[in-house]
Amino acid sequence: MCLSIPSKVVKIDKENNMATVDTMGVQRDASLVLMGEEDVKIGDYVLLHIGFIMNKIDEEDALLSLETYRQIIEAMDEEERQRAVLDESECQNRGA
């Protein structure tokens, strides 16, 4: 299953229309191409899906969602966690 995960923007590369986002301690590059005219700034929370920033979200909502993700991850056993990581990798490959 592919999920949109709240992520915090930590760097912006306007020349390449990319941003570096932090998702629960993991940093990755994401495209800003789907954001249109909406201005994304460092410190904003965004929804990230298959390598694209989909939209900005409220910080409070983002933090609540991230806490829910943490609780779900903590409830998983090691095999389930590994499957979740593999499934996420497959989602990113589908969007490429």
pLDDT value at position 96? 43
- Domain spans in the chain, listed from the N-terminal domain onward: 5-95
Q: What is the model's pTM? A: 0.76
Backbone angles phi, psi at 82, to 5 degrees: -60, -40
How many C-alpha atoms does 46 have within 13 Å on its Cβ side? 31
**What average pLDDT score do residues 50-64 get?**
93
Average pLDDT of span 50-60: 92
**Amino acid at residue number 93:** N
**What's the pLDDT tens digit per position in 10-22?**
999 999 999 999 9
Q: Which CATH number is 5-95's, of 3.40.50.970, 1.10.150.130, 3.30.390.30, 2.30.30.140?
A: 2.30.30.140
Residue 87's pLDDT is 62
